[in-house]
Amino acid sequence: MSSNNLMNDISNVSSILDLQGYDLPPETVIPAFIFATLGYIFIVFCNLLLLSTILLNKSLHEPMHILLLNLPINDLIGSTALFPHIIKELLWDTRTIPFSSCVTQAFFIHIYITGAVFILTAMAYDRYVAICRPMRYNTIMNNSHLMKIISYFWVTNILMIAVLFILLLRLPRCRSLLTHTYCDHPSLLQLICVNTTINNIYGLMTVAVCQTLSVSLILFTYIQILIACFRNKRSDTRSKALQTCATHLIVFITFECLGLFTIISYRLTDISPHFRRFCGVIAMIVPPTLNPLVYGLKTKEIRIKAFKFLQEKINALNKINVLFL
C-alpha cells in the first residue's frame, strides 16, 4: 500500500467500529438473549454473594479468604466488560461500537484475564505456606505481607495492560471491521495498517512472562504440597489439604486451557471464525460462573456462612412483606 493511499485510508477511517456478529438464526435470538441475561444475573449474584459473605464475616478475614476476595472482584470486572455488550447486541441487533468504548472494553477484559492468573498464583503461594510451613504461616502471611502481595499483583496488572494499550493507541488505524464478537487487543491490533512489531513483541512477551512465572510457581508449590501431604501421617489433614488444592488446581487448569486456546486460535488460520468466536466467549463465561460455585460450595466455612447470610436476607424480606400485607 502506497503512503498516499495509506494516509487517505487513515483520514477516512470511522470512529465507529463494526463487529462480527454471532450470525444466529432469527428463531434463536430471543433464547440466546434470555440465556445471556440470566447468565449475567447468575454470575453477578454468585460473585456478590461470595464477596459479601467474606466481607461481612470477621471469622473469614484470614489470608486465604482475603486473597480469594479478589477473585469475585476480578470476575465481576470481566463479566461486566463483556455481558452488557452481548445483551445489547442480541436485543437490538447492533454490530457497531464506538472506538473509545471498544478500547475500554478491551482494557478491562485484559485486566480480568491477567488478574485471574496473578490471583490464582497468589492463592497457590498461600496454600504452599499453609501446608508446607504451617508453624510460620501467621508470621509469613501477616497483614503487611498480604497487602503487599495484593497491591503488587493489581498494580503490576494495571501498569502492564496500560502499556499494552498505550502502544496500541499511538498507531493510526485504517480499518474499522473487527474480526471478533467483542473487543480485545489482538482484534484491535488488526485495525492497524502500519508496522506493529513492537506491539506484537510486547504482547507476546507479557503473555510468556506471566505464563512462565505463574505456571512455574504453581507447579513448584503443588509439588511441595504433594510431598508434604504424603509425609503427613494424619489422613484427615492430608485429605483436607489435597481437597483444597484440587479445587484450586481445577479452576487454574480450566482458566489456562480456555485462555491459551483463545490466544493460539488467533494465530491459526485454519480454525473456523465461528468456532474461534465461540471459544472466545466461552473463555469469558466459564471462569466467572465456575469460580464462586467451586470456592463457595467446596469451602465449608464459606458455604455455611453464605447459606446463613441468604437465610437472614430471606427472613428479613419475609418480615417486610408481612408488614405490608
Judge contact between 231 and 225, C-beta under 8 A: no
**All 3 cell numbers of residue 297?**
460450595
pLDDT in tens, the chain (325 residues): 455 554 455 545 668 888 876 677 778 888 888 988 999 999 999 899 888 888 888 888 888 889 989 999 999 999 999 999 888 888 887 778 899 999 999 999 999 999 998 998 998 899 888 888 888 888 889 989 999 999 999 999 999 999 999 999 998 888 888 877 788 888 898 888 888 899 999 988 998 888 888 889 988 888 888 887 777 666 665 666 666 677 777 777 877 777 777 767 666 666 666 676 677 777 788 888 888 887 776 667 777 777 777 777 777 666 666 655 5
Stated pTM of the model: 0.85
User: Domains (ranges, CATH) in the chain?
Assistant: 16-324 (1.20.1070.10)
* CA-closest candidate to residue 66, choices 145, 135, 10, 7: 145
